[in-house]
Amino acid sequence: MLYLSSYLGRPVLDAGSRRVGTVRDLTARLNGPYPAVMALRVRTGRHSHIDLSWNDVRSFETSQIILAANLQDLDPYVLGDQDVLLSRNVLDKQIVDLEGRRLIRVQDVQLSRTGTQLRVLGVDVSTSALLRRLRLRRLADRVAAGYPPHAVAWEDVDLGSWRDPNVRLRVARTGLRRLHPADLAEIAAALPPGEGAGLLAGLEDEVAADTLEEMSPEVQVRMLEALGPERAVQLLEEMSPDDAADLLQDLPREEAEALLARMDPKEAEDIHELLGYEEESAGGLMTTEVFSVLADETAQGLIERLRARAPDEEAAYYLYVVDEAERLVGVMSLRDLVVAPGEARVAAFMRADPISVRADEDKKEVVEAIMKYNLLALPVVDDQERLVGVVTVDDVIDLVGPRSWRPDSRRFLRR
Amino acid sequence: MAALAVIGPGLITAQADNDATGIATYSIAGARYGYRLLWVLVPVGIALAVTQEMGARLGIVTGKGLASLIRERFGVGFAAVAIGLLLIGNLGTTTADFAGIAASLEIFGISKFASVPVAAGIVFLLVTRASYRRVEKVFLVLSAFYVAYMISGFMAHPNWAHAMRSTVVPSFTLTGAFVLTVVAVVGTTVTPWGQFFIQSYVVDKNIDAEQLNYARGDVILGAFTTDLVAFFIIVATASTIFATGGHIVDAKDAAIALKPLAGRFASTLFGLGLLNASFLAAAILPLSTAYAVCEAFGLEMGLDRSPREAPIFYSVFAFSILFGAGVVLIPSVPLVKILFASSAVNGVLVAPILVFLYRLCNDVDLMGSRRNGKFANAMGAATIGLLILLTVLLLGAGIINPT
């Protein structure tokens, strides 16, 4: 296996075997799964270097590189938009391993030789590569024997530094789209806040909002503050109202008010309503996005209405039936609806007397009801039995699961 | 509002700077040489302000920690050197903080063989159970203990004319002991870990580049506070212990400096203050060392990982505690000397770290228009040069004229 580190610092000789400098960097063009090395950066003095096209290289060994002509007869290579300096921009940097879905540091860059070409295969992230670069060869071999070297293919790499896109990488960063918001949340939380916010800023609104929802409250606040009010408002509008309300609750009061004031009035109203409930109550957990149904609708009509509205995924596990005073009178699952005859009235196949909780009840009651009755969602009513919202199972899992039992450790040192 | 949000890092780092090693080092300086070393505080204060400003600016502009930046800009070899220096310095400081815990509790008649293992256990639990944050504020509030030195300094009726003259007129003796004391005074203030700490602090607070000037003000205020505390510790010890021809052998001796204020409660006050300062640093240092090592080498880290997932992280953390506590438990080891020695070690180690800092702050790609100006470069270079000169003098004088 060839490594970038084995070329760096090696002597560069011209056609007449005169030493012109040492290898400072290799430039690869980022297209295709295995980018080709396009140029060589030669360090010619303490503060000077020259870029030379790979076509001007006659032979390249890890012991030395020999040019095809004399230095003064060669034209300098001009870096293009797709070119990346492997040592300057990749080696030793933090990147995202899209396959392993985590943040890693590039210990070395793997290269492969095909004829006169040198191509990038991937990045080596293993401890043995680190030890090898520290010249602890024997230890490196021993570690490599125990833990086989771990490399990430070039295709599965996203080249970090989201805060500051000035690292001369103008390559489209599409890789992150492959990741689930939960993984993105974990990666963004592991980065310094500025970088994490930069990562979020580069995502589409919807993905960014989902990612934000997956973060712990502490990290959410940090991200929102780093993103700035304009972008924060966009993401809050995109989030489901209950998650947005939870987040705003964790912000200082004036900041939350300021953000609400900038939001779309309708979204803001929903959130305002939710903010009125105690955080630890059913009302504090629920979302107000409910799809409610009247008892005299037909199954066919309802299915068509659903298609037209296309409600959010978490709002459509169950459909809740209300009377003309908005009082909760029945429930049906999507299965109930789908298997019902098209002309049947809702009243005929809904289940009456649904399980529900009052908005001011403690969240413990919500968890108990959902677990006892194996529900995916639980309707929330006010003191006049009117349907005001729904708590979905995903809001409850976080309360009972092992996920948030440990605080974010890094922040505890420095806040 | 903006000012309030930013104020903090410099002041908190300054508090942490004046840890147990600071108390011990300034006390020894005052007890041995009276007011003579006060002048050192002027260049030290400037050096602290300049280096902390550079660290804060670097963190604010790049959004990255010092360990990350050294790795990314200078490669893995230099990162290993920097982290190696940090590790040695931090092991020294951790040991010193356990020595501080042991020394302070000995005042209350508690043997170090009881106090140190218990303290190590408490530190381990506080940090791994992450309940440290809840008690951290208590530590910081208790740092107000330093005010006791200011009051005591006044009540001891120092010879102000003499003290002020010593602050502005340098005096120097080329003996090993004198140079060592100067190095220790520098090294307890400008430290490798202080540089790593301030930078990760501003990174984690995600301070905007627009707020740079507030952060600067904060850093300068912090440096001034550190210096002021140091000044009064030296004045208080000089006008009590030095004036009566005393020496500091153990913590009880150092407590005499608080007699003018606290009378017969001086030992209690001193013991509690030292305990608090030691504990604060003993809880922070092992963990921040582990983070720096893993950040630089790209290893798994964080208390949310299991020891199996992040073996090096936990190893460094546990080793720091065990090493620190272990050295202090050696039966005849002199506790106060450990505190003093760790300051001197940090004073020698910090120069190379500052070279990295200097280079990074001059990196145009990294810092753009916010790179070091002529003033910062001149001051930075002067600080580094002075530190190297002191190290050379220390080696020279130590060999030729040890006392």
Of A134, A166, A414, the CB nearest to B76: A134
The pLDDT value recorded for residue B134 is 65
Whether A46 and A135 share a structural domain: no
Question: Does A383 lie in the same domain as A305?
Answer: yes
How confident is the model at residue B138, as a pLDDT? 67
pLDDT-based confidence at residue B297 (cuts at 50, 70, 90): very high
Q: Domain check: are A60 and A111 in the same one?
A: no
Strands A357-358 vs A377-381: parallel, antiparallel or unpaired: parallel
State mean pLDDT over B388-403: 80
CA-based nearest residue to B169, from B10, B36, B260:
B36
Residues B229-242: tens digit of each pLDDT = 899 999 999 999 89
Question: pLDDT band at A161, cuts 50/70/90?
Answer: low
Give residue limits of the domains in chain B.
2-400
Q: Which whole number is the average pLDDT over B291-315?
A: 88
Token pair listed for A345 = 């009235």
Please state the rounded mean pLDDT for residues A66-89. 87
Is A192–B304 a contact, with Cβ atoms under 8 angstroms apart? no
Per DSSP, what are the bridge partners of residue A190? none
Task: Give the model's pLDDT for residue A163.
Answer: 61
Which residue in B293, B288, B359 sits closest to A130, CA to CA?
Answer: B293
- B310-369 pLDDT, tens digit per residue, is 899 999 999 999 999 999 999 988 988 899 999 999 999 999 999 999 999 998 888 888
**Do residues A117 and A73 share a domain?**
no
Within a domain: A149: yes
ipTM of the prediction: 0.79
In a domain, A164, yes or no: no
> Which CATH number covers residue A358?
3.10.580.10
CB A52 within 8 Å of CB A68: no
A7 neighbors A63 (Cβ within 8 angstroms): no
For residue A396, what pLDDT is reported? Answer: 81
For residue B4, pLDDT beyond 60: no
- A199 and A263 housed in the same domain: yes
- Which runs of E-coded beta strand occur in A125-186? 151-153, 157-158
> Using CB atoms, which residue from A167, A406, A413 is nearest to B304?
A406
Are A186 and A261 in a shared domain?
Answer: yes
Q: Stretch A260-278: mean pLDDT, rounded? A: 85
Q: Give me the pLDDT at residue A238, please.
A: 87
**What band does B8 get if pLDDT is binned at 50, 70 and 90?**
low
Q: Which CATH number does the domain housing residue A237 bear?
A: 1.25.60.10
Residue A74: which H helix or E strand, with range? Answer: none
Asked if the structure places residue A415 within a domain, the reply is no
Say if residue A210 is exposed, middle or buried (CB neighbours under 10 Å; 0-12, 13-18, 19+): buried
Gap between the Cα atoms of B350 and B89, Å rounded: 8
pLDDT surpasses 50 at A412:
no
Task: Look at residues A223, A251, A276 and tell me which one is the last residue of a structural domain.
Answer: A276
Interface of B with A (CB under 8 A): 62-65, 68, 71-72, 75-77, 79-80, 130, 132-133, 197, 200-201, 203-206, 284, 287-288, 291, 297-299, 302-304, 365
pLDDT at residue number B90: 94
Residue A413 has pLDDT above 50, yes or no: no
pLDDT greater than 60 at residue A141: yes
Domain that holds residue A62: 2-80
The distance of B71 to chain A (nearest Cα, Å) reads 6
- pLDDT at A402 exceeding the cut of 50: yes
pLDDT the model gives residue A409: 41
pLDDT band at A414 (very low <50, low <70, confident <90, very high): very low
Q: Average pLDDT, stretch A263-267?
A: 86
Amino acid (1-letter code) at residue A266: K
Structural domain includes residue A168: no
Q: Are B82 and B360 in contact (CB under 8 A)?
A: no
Chain B residue whose CA is closest to A167:
B365
A72 and A130 co-located in one domain: no
Question: Is residue A385 scored above 80 in pLDDT?
Answer: yes
Using the Cβ of A127 and the Cβ atoms of chain B, whether some distance falls under 8 Å is answered with yes
In the predicted model, is pLDDT for residue A174 greater than 90? Answer: no
Q: Residues A35, A99: one domain?
A: no
Share of chain A above pLDDT 70, in %: 91
> Given pLDDT bands bounded at 50, 70 and 90, which one contains residue A67?
very high
Q: Where residue A166 falls among pLDDT bands split at 50, 70, 90? A: very low
Cβ-contact A302, A321 below 8 angstroms? no
Which residues on chain A are in Cβ contact (under 8 Å) with B77?
A: 133-134
Question: Is A169 within a domain?
Answer: no
What per-residue confidence (pLDDT) applies to B135? Answer: 63
User: How would you list the strands of the sheet with A357-358, edge to edge?
Assistant: A357-358, A377-381, A387-392
CA-based nearest residue to B3, from B159, B194, B221: B221
Spatial CB neighbours of A172, under 8 Å, sequence gap ≥ 6: none
The pLDDT assigned to B100 comes to 93
The reply to whether A413 falls in a domain is no
CATH number at residue A7: 2.30.30.240
In a domain, A414, yes or no: no
Contact B123, B283 (CB under 8 A): yes
Q: Do A42 and A107 fall into the same domain?
A: no
Q: Averaged over A119-124, what is the pLDDT?
A: 90
Average pLDDT value over all residues in chain A = 83
Mean pLDDT over residues A321-340, rounded? Answer: 90
SS3 A295: coil
Decide if A414 and B200 are in contact by the 8 Å CB cutoff.
yes
Interface test with A, best of B4, B66, B76 (most A CBs within 10 A): B76
The span from the CA of B194 to the CA of A240, in Å, is: 43
State in words which class domain B2-400 has: mainly alpha
Predicted local confidence at residue B1, as pLDDT: 34
Provide the domain count of chain A: 4
- Grade residue B16 by pLDDT with cuts at 50, 70 and 90: low
Look at residue A165 and tell me if it is in a domain. no
Mean pLDDT of the residues in chain B = 87
Cβ within 8 Å of residue A27, ≥6 positions away: A37, A38, A39, A40, A41, A51, A77, A79, A83, A84, A85, A86
CA-CA distance, B59 to A163, in Å (whole number)? Answer: 13
